[in-house]
Amino acid sequence: MEGAPGTLYEGEKFQLLFKFSSRYPFDSPQVMFTGENIPVHPHVYSNGHICLSILTEDWSPALSVQSVCLSIISMLSSCKEKRRPPDNSFYVRTCNKNPKKTKWWYHDDTC
């Protein structure tokens, strides 16, 4: 995935990892950034986990890999400042390796 032109991430390349359970498409895939370049974003932790509601509670079987990618591009594109989530250090030290096992708290619409 590439950062969209005219955004803070223009020209940057990112790699996403998708893992699908046997219940897909009724169960959302596990999606996270991987590789050397994890985007610095208020909803992306330094371990690659993404806080995005369509990856958990707002998932619908009508969504596709393409719609997930478009949502992530949109999330990155609307960002006004490159920074990590405030609880990044604590979360990365204590989280489950599977981001789907995290109980996310969707607390803002700033990015």
Residue 111: predicted pLDDT: 44
| pLDDT over 80 (residue 102) | no
30 in Cβ contact with 100 (< 8 Å):
yes
- pLDDT value at 109 more than 60: no
Domains of the chain, each with CATH number or no CATH: 15-97 (3.10.110.10)
Tokens found for residue 99: 């981001």
Runs of H (alpha helix) within 1-111 = 65-77, 88-94
Residues that are catalytic: 51
End-to-end distance of the chain based on CA atoms, in angstroms? Answer: 18
Amino acid at 13: K
CA 85: distance to chain centroid?
Answer: 12
Measured from the Cβ of residue 111, the count of other Cβ atoms closer than 10 Å reads 17
pLDDT at 105 exceeding the cut of 70: no
Closest CA to 103 of 57, 42, 38: 57
